[in-house]
Chains A and B, each alone.
Chain A
């Protein structure tokens, strides 16, 4: 399964401890320095897909209507794979001088 940009950020937000809708939206915005803002529709579209793929799962609710989500082992593994792919891309960009060297 190929993760979209929103889905990857959502996995990162859930990994960072954000567990419910509003907190995830805030975390995604913070992670991207305000470049990626997602609304409730985009968020729950992504959550639905990630739940169906078994990358996240629901956990005990902390309120009447509020539901929370956590990463599954499969989600963590796919997230790591995606991050590794991005890391390789950045390394290639550095090698070609597109980005300044890390040191």
Chain B
């Protein structure tokens, strides 16, 4: 393969519109640079590849920001990122707790509503990033999500334990979806679908997360994995896994499974909520 052909193939890394607009000129510039190069071939290609990776990433970020992708893709990426960010934040909290550890703190546990508030802030933060431009929902959205998730999880832990992960999901989802609806209804008519979407999404996410992590961890390491480590018994559900960083997993595969599960969880939320959200947006445009 000639260097020109190789560079031409590498140009596929850029978004199509950018490639169409500047691909020819970039190819010309590459040929002239290659003819005039004063350094060895390896140094030249390292320079070209670094330039290519850096600028193509920049172009993809710009293309994403310019919102040329379908709303569904943006929403799916936002929710997946939200899941991962929540896990990262949980790890940061775990690390801070162990760093600031003092014997007086022995036996201190975070109440269920604390976990819920944490989850609600993560969820509200990423959702508001996408919704803010259309509905002007910022701090109020985050606060509402946090309060609703805190209440929802406390109620779920107290009353819905017998129904398993789906029961937790339904209770938590109803609280969060309902509270977010209260905010949304002031900005758009007939926003009730949001409650249904939110409830279904959280129920499905919790159930799928529980199934995925249980099956994978047991498959990978059947002897060391001990679900009963999470006490009391009511906590032994997927909700705990949503904030598993607080349990402090240290093994590489534990972390990998956790982040994968959080991504799946985010994608499930996106898959279920994208339809009602799109219909809400459509009605906003009609108003």
The reply to whether A40 and B29 form a contact with Cβ atoms under 8 Å apart is: yes
Q: Tally A residues with Cβ within 8 Å of B.
A: 18
CB distance from B13 to the nearest CB of A (A): 9
Contact count A vs B, C-beta below 8 Å: 55
Q: Does B28 contact A (CB under 8 A)?
A: yes
Q: Does A44 contact B (CB under 8 A)?
A: yes
- The main secondary structure of chain A at its interface with chain B is helix
The reply to whether A41 and B51 form a contact with Cβ atoms under 8 Å apart is: yes
Bound Cα distance from A22 to B32, whole angstroms: 7
Q: Does A66 contact B (CB under 8 A)?
A: yes
Please name all residues of chain B whose beta carbon is closer than 8 Å to the beta carbon of A43 when the two chains form the complex.
Answer: 29
Q: A22-B29, A40-B29, A41-B26 are in contact. Are A48 and B52 (CB under 8 A)?
A: no
The reply to whether A44 and B54 form a contact with Cβ atoms under 8 Å apart is: no
CB distance from A26 to the nearest CB of B (A): 8
The reply to whether B18 and A38 form a contact with Cβ atoms under 8 Å apart is: no
The reply to whether B18 and A21 form a contact with Cβ atoms under 8 Å apart is: no
Contact with A along B45-68 (1 / 0, CB 8 A): 001101110111011000000000
Q: Does A42 contact B (CB under 8 A)?
A: yes
The reply to whether B55 and A42 form a contact with Cβ atoms under 8 Å apart is: yes
CB distance from B6 to the nearest CB of A (A): 14
Bound Cα distance from A21 to B29, whole angstroms: 6
The reply to whether A44 and B22 form a contact with Cβ atoms under 8 Å apart is: yes
The reply to whether B55 and A67 form a contact with Cβ atoms under 8 Å apart is: no
Bound Cα distance from A41 to B47, whole angstroms: 11
Bound Cα distance from A48 to B58, whole angstroms: 12
The reply to whether A40 and B30 form a contact with Cβ atoms under 8 Å apart is: yes
A residues near B, CB below 8 A?
A: 20-22, 25, 37-45, 47-48, 65-67
Q: Can you give 10 A-B contacts (C-beta < 8 A)?
A: A20-B25, A25-B33, A39-B55, A40-B33, A41-B52, A42-B54, A44-B18, A44-B25, A45-B55, A65-B24
